[in-house]
Structure 1
Amino acid sequence: MESKIIVAIDGFSSTGKSTVAKQLAKHLGYIYVDTGAMYRTVALYALQNGYAKDGKVQEKLLIANLANIHISFQYNPSLGFSEVYLNTVNVETEIRGMEVSSYVSKVAAISAVRQKLVALQQQMGESKGIVMDGRDIGTVVFPNAELKLFMTASAETRAQRRYDELKQKGDTTVTFDEVYNNVVERDHIDTTRKDSPLVMADDAVEVDNSNLSREEQFTYILSLVKAKL
């Protein structure tokens, strides 16, 4: 039996990390873990309980209630990937909205939140055979991952993708400017936070997909995986 590896995919928001990670995991028969969904779930919990409002997060209240947040993934065969659950409730759809997007980087900047989720992520990768995407996977969660990728694209390209995605899902109120400003704000918070900021690992392969089709990107990344296997 061939040995399994860990594929760590980091990068900016809306670079299509989870799309390619899902493709890879399915192709390899690996487990896929969307760590962004985990942080989004904590942000949703904060919103539901009034710890996130008016653009601010009440850190102390959120930290005091971290033990009440149970995040799990359940595989949905009809979709072909695992959906995220918050305290046994499927929140896959709720966590993708603009409101959660506006708080997720603020929540992810809280050290206690990161410690809880990183420990959970490391447990998930103990037996390898995993594709995980996020902001600090190759630098903090799995510094010894066999393959590290760093995804990037221009802010305009990413905002357009996200805007199109929201429109497809039926969000008629959001404007391109709102999405663009959210992308830029998240980039700033993600790259400047004190605890494990978004940086490219020294041994990561940078993938700028501003002008790559999904097929081209997948073929390229699969060749990198095969070289490691």
Structure 2
Amino acid sequence: MSASPAGLVIAVDGPAASGKGTLARRLSAHYGLPYLDTGLLYRMVARAMLEAGHDIRDAAAAGEIVSRFDQGAFDEDTLRGREIGEAASVVAAMPAVRSGLIERQRRFAGQPGGAVLDGRDIGTVICPQARAKLFVTATPEVRAARRHKELAGRGEEATFDNILADIRRRDARDSGRSDAPLKAADDAVILDTSALTIEEALAAAIAIVDRRRSAQPERILTER
């Protein structure tokens, strides 16, 4: 494990099933930095909405929940799955939810030594000053195949075609929302994992981070 560099914040963004979560966890272990899957925060809000019997599109109810929910009250296993993922994508498009979660995420990123965060607006909104920014992507078909395998491993039934349709719908929603749309930061490095194994993607990600750690600020915008 590499020594934890002072103040190293690594922002990992990308669409659903692109591999960003796996890479972010591996980068966290490699650099000895704390890791936050920010998507889980939105899943917590969605889970709380469903458990309270609210319409998942009720922005007022979501805004109330986001102001008071306890992150420690959720079992991560209950936050996984296709239904919660789709519901989380809906609440994530609500400005009140996004603004309500910004400070939680920034506090995590501000820890001594730095942190690794993955999501959809880390490099653009949450940590725009992050030294290393990756935008991890893959084709919709590859991402659907990965998600299909993941769901099958958990015993959930879903067809490839339905998962692919879900992914395309989520991409459109995440990219088209008015508040913090999914997009690569101007100074992010694009990492397409479509044809890469996990180990190959990790090696590429580490190389990107190491280059960013040593690069002069004026060089960063030219590396994308």
> Scaled by the length of structure 2, what TM-score is found?
0.89
- The AA in structure 1 aligned to 2:22 is T
Q: Distance in 1 between matches of 2:148 and 2:48?
A: 24
Find 1:146's aligned residue among 131, 135, 139.
131
- 1:136 matched residue in structure 2: 121
Alignment of 1:212-223 (within 5 A): 212-223=196-207
CA distance in 2 between partners of 1:145 and 1:64 (Å): 30
Which residue of structure 2 lines up, in the alignment, with residue 101 of structure 1?
85
Q: Residue 193 of structure 1 corresponds to which residue in structure 2?
A: 177
Pick aligned residue for 1:42 from 36, 41, 45: 45
Question: Which is further off, 146-155 or 58-67?
Answer: 58-67
Name the structure with the higher strand share.
1
Give a deviation string over 1:66-114, Cα, whole Å, max 9, x none: 333122xxxxxxxxxxxxx3xx242x11111111112111100111110
Amino acid at match of 1:120: R
> Hey, what does 1:15 align to over in structure 2?
18
Query: Are 1:211 and 2:195 an aligned pair?
Result: yes
| Contact 2:121/2:182 (8 A) holds in 1 | yes
- Identity across aligned pairs (percent)? 38
SS in structure 2 of the partner of residue 221 of structure 1:
helix
Q: Counterpart of 2:67 in 1: which secondary structure?
A: helix
Kindly provide the amino acid, as one letter, of the partner of residue 160 in structure 2. Answer: F
| Structure 1: segments with no counterpart, 5+ residues | 72-84
Residues of 2 paired with 1:198 and 1:62: CA distance?
A: 20
Higher helix residue share: 2
Length-normalised TM-score, structure 1: 0.87
Structure 1 stretches of 4+ with a deviation exceeding 6 A read none
Contact 2:123 2:185 (C-alpha < 8 Å) held by counterparts: yes
2:12 aligns to what SS in structure 1? strand
What corresponds to 2:219 in structure 1? none
- Which AA in structure 1 matches 2:37? D
In the alignment, is the contact (CA less than 8 A) between 2:12 and 2:133 conserved in 1? Answer: yes
Say whether the 8 Å CA contact 2:140–2:164 is kept in structure 1: yes
CA distance, structure 2, for counterparts of residue 162 and residue 16 of structure 1: 10
After the TM superposition, which of the residue ranges 22-31 and 121-130 deviates more from structure 2?
A: 121-130
Q: CA deviation at 1:169?
A: 1.0
| Paired letter, 2:83 | E
Q: Which residue of 2 aligns with 1:115?
A: 99
Q: Following the alignment from structure 2 to structure 1, what is the Cα–Cα distance between the partners of residues 38 and 154?
A: 22
Deviation at 1:217? 0.8
Q: Which residue of 1 aligns with 2:61?
A: 61
1:119 match: secondary structure: helix
